[in-house]
Structure 1
């Protein structure tokens, strides 16, 4: 009897966790460069001499869907989208390097190129500073050029280059801040094969329709687990009555 309780109880618990993950994905369906989170589960036997046939469900892995999202033209000079595989390197507050696909950039009060959340963009030689009164162009290879908006309009100056990397996806893990980092804390070198598209942003790779269908299916699965628990309770009640009669 209790074998059914173990399975149904832990199954219901992890269905709720899956529902939370799915809701998180849906909430980020319009977040630039977002990568959907994936959950997978497996059955594990309960360790003990007297309970070798009991099992419960555990979260096997928390993975990531690395498929590319849709491209959206914005025309904004500080918007970039990674084409195909690859990542944009940013500097976290603790000085470590992290990676993102969100290419909506801005300039700080001091002209430093940053993400919208205020993290410095990593260039070939560190943070990239843009002088005032210039228009910015980001080339396909990540090279950043400026042209004065007044004076000599033909004076093109290269001020830096985005650090574009492409570490193995199996070596990437999502942090609590939504940024990715390498599992072994290594710092990958810039990859010349990674290219960007200027004036474009990559949307989230979350499929809203699939996520809504998944939410409905998870709700039905949770109801099924609850019915199993009710059946186990009813069976226990009937068994107790039979024992009492005998």
Structure 2
């Protein structure tokens, strides 16, 4: 009975873990540039004496969904959405280079170009700095240009270029802060083929309908495992009663 109870308990625990990850995806269904986590159950044999007749399941993260979210027009000059593969380089809280698809940019009071999460956007030589200006434009290649205060459009000048990279998906790992980094800790090289669309943002790639269906499935799996634990308890009680009667 102890093995039966152990298998049921581990199944319930892993179903709850998978539910947590699925709910995380649902919570970020409206997060700009979010990439959904991918989870899968894997079978493991129960180690120990006797025949290998027991197996249990574990929930493991298999990666993240590379599918591009829809580009939604905002009309805002500082909003940029990456068209196709690629990433925007930002400076994480630990000072290291990290990558994101969220292009909801803004300029802080000191003139540093930031994303919506407050991470400085990196250029060819550190964070991109924007001088006082009448208007800002971001080109398809990440070039940042401004029109100085009191001047006309003909005086537009380039003040920096956003670092756009495209490392292999398998080389990236998501951190607890939601940013991606290369697994080997190195900085990715700029990629001139990455293109952005100004005045648009990429939506989350979470499929809400699929996530809702999965939530229901995992809830039913959890309930099934809890019922199995109750059955194991009842069987143990019945066995104990039989032993007493003999």
Shorter-chain TM range is: over 0.9
CA distance in 2, matches of 1:182, 1:64: 14
Match of 1:120, SS state, is coil
**Where do 5+ consecutive residues of structure 1 fail to align?**
none
Choose 84-93 or 151-160, whichever is displaced more: 151-160
Q: 1:229 to 1:54 in 2, by over 3 A?
A: same
Give the corresponding residue for 1:168.
168
Deviation string 1:120-179 (CA, Å, 9 cap, x unpaired) is: 111112221111123111111111111235333311211111111111111111111111
CA distance in 2, matches of 1:18, 1:56: 15
- Contact 2:37/2:61 (8 A) holds in 1: no
Give the corresponding residue for 1:96.
96
Q: 1:97 to 1:211 in 2, by over 3 A?
A: same
Once the two structures are TM-superposed, the CA of residue 186 in structure 1 deviates from its matched residue by 1.4
CA distance in 1, matches of 2:228, 2:96: 48
User: Normalising to structure 2: TM-score of the pair?
Assistant: 0.93
Choose 125-134 or 51-60, whichever is displaced more: 51-60
User: Normalising to structure 1: TM-score of the pair?
Assistant: 0.93
- Contact 1:6/1:54 (8 A) holds in 2: no
**Pairs aligned (count):** 246
- Contact 2:132/2:149 (8 A) holds in 1: no
Match of 2:121, SS state, is strand
**Where do 5+ consecutive residues of structure 2 fail to align?**
none
Moved segments of 4+, more than 6 Å: none
Whether 1:41 aligns to 2:36 is: no
- Contact 2:124/2:163 (8 A) holds in 1: yes
Give the corresponding residue for 2:133.
133
